[in-house]
A and B are shown apart, each in its own frame.
Chain A
Amino acid sequence: MTAPLVSLQNLSVQFCGNRKASALNAVNIELGAGEVLGLLGESGSGKSVTLRTLLRLHPERSTKIQGKIEVDGHDVLALKGRALDLYRGGTVSMVFQEPGLAFDPVYTIGQQITEAIRAHGAVGEAAARAQALHMLERVQIPQARRRFDAYPHELSGGMRQRAMIALALACQPKLLLADEPTTALDATVQIQVLLLLRELQRETGMSVIFVTHDIGAAVEVADRIAVMYAGRIVEQATVGDIVRTPRHPYTVGLLAATVGAEHRGQPLQAVPGAPPDLAALPPGCSFAPRCAHASERCRREVPPLESKGGHAVACWHPAQPVAEAA
């Protein structure tokens, strides 16, 4: 493979407000062109921070970023002014969880998409409008011509999320960041949006980083899954490997805690405790306080993310694949 489209090297993000919080700790991610990566984790695990850092959306004054981000040859952390504007939305764009908040309520959907297209290229008003309308049709909004002139509040949740995707894809980005795009939607609408994302990805060949806390949603769209915990990636592998032979105790626990029909009538295997405070991370493995296999070494040293045959895991005592095969 040639140089990856996205590469995060040793990325650390610290928020320094009243309290210091280490949201990301030495994260490494590589993503090839046309690949779909699912970032899986609970709240506070750093998945959304990763996406926002990729777009440089954090306030510069109170955020300390270390490491390196490269996307499509750009050194993202060094971008300034007009180059940053073009990068946001042009090379990389984002779909947010709450489409109701991400749109401007006082402009119509069509105006907002048209504006985005014109901001990124020398396109005339009429051509941009035609392109915007075409985008609305591509995300399968029924009666796109009528919806073009609708305000965000006039659309239902699922329709708004489709319009959000149309806006994000309007400038043909090479990388789409999706931050829990289906969490706020109903089950029957969620599956429609997931299928749409998969189809658009296949058509355009863009790369996607898909953030979710729902393993099911990640399985539906992603090629590879990276599991995050307390600002670190603890396991990374293909979807099949994660679901069938998880090796990190946290991933094992997460899968065991996913409720299914087979658990009826018996207690669930819950992971005890709660995620750690990001302001005071334990010195060793951040999962050690909740882990049944934790040893002295786990409490002292942070385990590195070691890859073997495409399956990377950061644990001193990973579960053996053979034992987990059942």
Chain B
Amino acid sequence: MNSAPHTPSPLHDRGGPAQPLLVVRNLKKHFPVRGGPLERTKKFVHAVDGVSFSVPKGKTLGIVGESGCGKSTTARLIARLMQADSGSMVFDGEGVDEFGGIRLKEFRRSLQMVFQDSFASLNPRLTIAETIAYGPRVHGMPAAEAKRQAHDLLARVGLAPEQFASRYPHELSGGQRQRVNIARALAFDPRLVILDEAVAALDKSVQAQVLNLLQELKAERQLTYLFISHDLHVVHYISDYVMVMYLGQVVETGPVERIYGQAAHPYTRALLSAVPSMDPDRRTESSPLAGDPPNPINPPSGCRFRDRCPHAHPVCEATSPALISLPGDPAHQAACHLNDPASGHPGALPETQA
């Protein structure tokens, strides 16, 4: 499994190519807020509020949104780093941690995560070879083999093992540390890798190197990525599907060309036009949105985006829009009354125009 050129073992694949690798249904997480002693009602931060999506095999799903929209909480809930309040997951056709499904330990081995802070996610007292070998050793791999595998992985991520294997995390640069984190994630031969802002802290020139590495590894090992980022350029580059989140809910999801070409939700359009222009003759003249994202403790009723939305209408306050498929591509879904002729919003048109 380690010395031979890597071939994804067919034993892994159970559901067949059409079965999405991961299906998430109605994931919810509300964090209680400690109020004052006189406060009767307990408040909750609606961090993730009914999120459902699926990730096809071998594809990359990019999750974008502003801070506080629940993208990182979603990642942590999927990796079971925290317990969800409700919701279920299906991994390659098998329910996760359910009766008759895949066991949690096994699920965790097929899923690895790379975090934003490359320094904080490495143990400062272990050399990087020890760090990479640590997980497999805990899962019963003999020490010598784990070490050899660690060296192979280091070579694969572009760090010469004879030079780097015995170094400590503080002796590496940010880009090198992130490569170590990627190598560690690969040590279990995972099928799904969650990259939570994995390139956000890197300098532009180094970021490009790491993105290239991620693309190569994905092709080589048939990995599936869940790529979380606030950088819309990077998500556009790396993703096959994009999911846009706002205040704990999915507002739009679909293939990357549809999201970047014909965004159907006013929030997605605002987010895309907030990216600074690269053309000095065509600078941005007015900002697409006013104000900051609202507080997730008391989200607005109905559509959560309505108090920043230029198309808001009383119906947006009364009912919250459901995520519905758009004409032209059933995979492209948006949660906005403008796209639903039956919603009663005066701006809603029967065709795709919005």
- Bind each other: yes
Interface residues in chain A, defined as those with a beta carbon under 8 Å from any beta carbon in chain B: 42-43, 142, 156-159, 186-192, 194-195, 213-217, 219-220, 238-240, 243, 253-254, 257-261, 263-264, 267-272, 274-275
Chain B neighbourhood of A215, CB < 8 A: 278
CB pair B205 A42 closer than 8 Å: yes
CB pair B288 A191 closer than 8 Å: yes
State in angstroms the CA–CA spacing of A135 and B103 once bound together.
59
State in angstroms the CA–CA spacing of A238 and B232 once bound together.
26
Chain B neighbourhood of A254, CB < 8 A: 204-205
State in angstroms the CA–CA spacing of A240 and B278 once bound together.
10
State in angstroms the CA–CA spacing of A223 and B278 once bound together.
13
Out of B205, B230, B293, name the residue touching A270 (CB < 8 Å): B205
Number of A-B contacts defined by CB within 8 Å: 130
**Across the two chains, which residue of chain A brings its CB closest to B207?**
A257
Contact A189 B208, CB 8 Å, known A261-B260, A264-B237, A274-B176: no
Chain B neighbourhood of A258, CB < 8 A: 204, 233, 278
Chain B neighbourhood of A195, CB < 8 A: 284, 286-287
Closest 7 CB pairs of A and B: A216-B276, A270-B208, A42-B203, A257-B208, A186-B66, A271-B205, A268-B208
Chain B neighbourhood of A194, CB < 8 A: 276, 284
CB pair A253 B205 closer than 8 Å: yes
CB pair A157 B274 closer than 8 Å: no
Chain A neighbourhood of B237, CB < 8 A: 259-261, 263-264, 268
Chain A neighbourhood of B233, CB < 8 A: 258-261
CB pair A157 B207 closer than 8 Å: no
Contact of B301 with A by CB under 8 A: no
How many residues belonging to B are interface residues under a CB distance threshold of 8 Å? 46
Contact of B289 with A by CB under 8 A: yes
Chain-A contact segment, one of B33-41, B182-190, B209-217 = B209-217
Out of A42, A191, A268, A272, name the residue touching B274 (CB < 8 Å): A191
CB pair B275 A216 closer than 8 Å: yes
State in angstroms the CA–CA spacing of A269 and B204 once bound together.
11
**Across the two chains, which residue of chain A brings its CB closest to B174?**
A43
CB pair A274 B66 closer than 8 Å: no
CB pair A191 B287 closer than 8 Å: yes
CB pair A42 B204 closer than 8 Å: yes
Contact of B234 with A by CB under 8 A: yes
Contact of B175 with A by CB under 8 A: yes
State in angstroms the CA–CA spacing of A275 and B174 once bound together.
11
Closest Cβ–Cβ distance, residue A239 to chain B (whole Å): 4
**Across the two chains, which residue of chain B brings its CB closest to A158?**
B292
CB pair A217 B274 closer than 8 Å: no
Chain A neighbourhood of B275, CB < 8 A: 187, 191, 216
Per-residue 0/1 for B138-151: is the Cβ within 8 Å of any A Cβ (1 yes, 0 no)?
00000000000000
State in angstroms the CA–CA spacing of A159 and B211 once bound together.
33
Task: List 25 contacting pairs A-B, 8 Å CB cutoff, sorted by A.
Answer: A42-B203, A42-B204, A43-B203, A158-B292, A187-B271, A187-B274, A188-B293, A190-B274, A191-B284, A195-B286, A214-B276, A219-B276, A219-B277, A239-B280, A240-B280, A254-B205, A257-B204, A259-B207, A259-B231, A260-B233, A261-B237, A263-B237, A270-B205, A270-B212, A274-B173
CB pair B276 A191 closer than 8 Å: yes
Contact A187 B232, CB 8 Å, known A243-B278, A254-B204, A270-B209: yes
State in angstroms the CA–CA spacing of A194 and B286 once bound together.
10
Closest Cβ–Cβ distance, residue A270 to chain B (whole Å): 4
**Across the two chains, which residue of chain B brings its CB closest to A238?**
B280
Contact of B236 with A by CB under 8 A: yes
Closest Cβ–Cβ distance, residue A54 to chain B (whole Å): 23
Q: Which of chain B's residues 266-296 have a Cβ closer than 8 Å to chain A?
A: 270-271, 274-281, 283-284, 286-293
CB pair A259 B277 closer than 8 Å: no
Contact of B67 with A by CB under 8 A: yes
CB pair B232 A188 closer than 8 Å: no
Closest Cβ–Cβ distance, residue B276 to chain A (whole Å): 3
Chain A neighbourhood of B260, CB < 8 A: 261
State in angstroms the CA–CA spacing of A22 and B216 once bound together.
37
